[in-house]
Amino acid sequence: MQMNSNEKIERLETVGVVLRPDSPQLKDYFLKFKAFLDSKKITTLLDKRSAKMIGTSGVDFYEMCKRSDILISIGGDGTLISATRRSIDYQIPILGVNMGKLGFLTDYRADEINDAIESIFRGDYRIDLRMVMDIEAMLSGYKGEFRVINDLVIRHKKAKMVHIRLYIDGVLVNKYYGDGLIISTPTGATGYNLSAGGPIVFPYAKNFIFTPICPHSLTQRPLVLPVNFDIRLSVDDDDCMALLDGQDSFTLNSHDEVRISMSQSGAKMVHHADRNFFAVISEKLGWGNKVQ
């Protein structure tokens, strides 16, 4: 199974940087990193929103994507996912620096950021291709198209029980009744999906994972599907919410429909050359630890 794109960054002349929102304490860290890039004759572009947060100048995010050879996300997995979703059309590699706690995707530590740049010059890294989910929403008088890296979550705005219908190749397969439904990519399997009792799926697989949230039936169980089915979802209730990667949302009302499919554009994430998924989950989830 292909785990990386075998792609390399042809040149490293301009680096675009995104900082975790509401984290002005990252200013000193960014300035030290910029000084290091300056010493390497590399131009640094800072996202305008990040720049405003730390009181300096920046550029529009999409302009930054056009001009950069790589993006650096400084924060946590949420910061990385947000930057990846917005930059997907530019097919630019993105490297995540973990300033948070868990960090499934941001495998470079805060003290490794300079070494990460040096490793790119040496070619000692890899670019992983992560599956992206395309969302096509047919709403009353409106059609929306969205992209998801981790998961799509459907639930009621007022925390009520919700009815969700799942159609596969035009056949009604299930009618979920409960607090909601998580539709996850393999990348997102270790997120909300895992917390809700869903399975861990190898991140380079091409699957969708359907995990009910507190279903009103003991027979409802997570479902893993390959991406080559025609998959549609609809709700029987008004005032439902579709949450995209925990960051954006739109409203779903009765008989509104959502189609999901695999995007033709994968997300390019830069990782350590020796990164091993099984070692990561063993460490992050504490597998194999002795009982004290």
* Residues taking part in catalysis: 77
Q: Is 255 left (phi over 0), alpha (psi -120 to 50) or beta?
A: left
Residue type, position 274, single letter: D
Q: Torsions phi, psi of 5, nearest 5?
A: -90, -5
The strand pair at 14-19 and 70-75 is best described as parallel
Ordered alpha helix ranges (H), the chain = 27-39, 48-54, 61-67, 77-87, 113-122, 192-195, 277-284
Distances in whole angstroms, Cα of residue 172 to Cα of each of 72, 167, 228, 234, 261:
43, 4, 17, 10, 17
Do 75 and 110 meet the contact criterion of CB atoms below 8 Å apart?
no
Q: In whole angstroms, what is the distance from residue 242 CA to residue 197 CA?
A: 20
Query: Tokens for 81?
Result: 């996912």
* Cβ proximity of 209 and 201 under 8 Å: yes
Phi, psi of 272 (to 5 degrees): -55, 145
CA distance 259 to 34: 43
Residue with tokens 């040096």: 118
Distance CA 77, CA 105 (A): 6
